[in-house]
Structure 1
């Protein structure tokens, strides 16, 4: 095997390992259902990400006030779209 192939194999293996580490659903501390049907995920580090009412990860501006189904107000902290994508079911089927 050539040196270039070995380097490419090592790089792709480490990228796969990193993506597996990033897709850790145990990092979700809380979930809030919003009045508009979307869901906000709060991760253990306090940052948040959003899933729209259709089950897709969605962006949300930091600092935006959102209202939960029960009338509670929460403020968006962060915009962890990639983390939400990693915890959603069937993420491999998205975009097809």
Structure 2
């Protein structure tokens, strides 16, 4: 029982560490990032497009015109939705 618990913990930890590195790669490739009030992150890419990551590390859909609030109270209106781009970046850990 103890060995199976240890194995499950190890697998979960490896998955968590992998997602952290993928998120770092996404942040390094974005022109700017903003921490959102809901715990997520807004990525602004160099071509002016944007994408939103949930507080759980998943790319999430945004409606064009949706207003997002940063932790410092700034409001940003979504002008695009690069959910597939961010999803690929998170899953692969890099941007081509």
How many residue pairs match? The answer is 67
TM-score (norm 2): 0.63
Gaps of 5+ in 1: 1-23
Shift of residue 45 of structure 1? 1.1
Gaps of 5+ in 2: 1-24
Structure with greater helix percent: 2
Name segments (4+ residues, structure 1) moved above 4 Å: 24-27
If asked which structure has higher relative contact order (CA below 8 Å, sep 6+), I would say: 2
Report 1:1-96 matches (<5 A): 25=26, 27-88=29-90, 91=91
C-alpha RMSD of matched pairs (Å): 1.8
TM-score (norm 1): 0.63
Question: Is the radius of gyration larger for structure 1 or structure 2?
Answer: 1
Shift of residue 64 of structure 1? 0.8
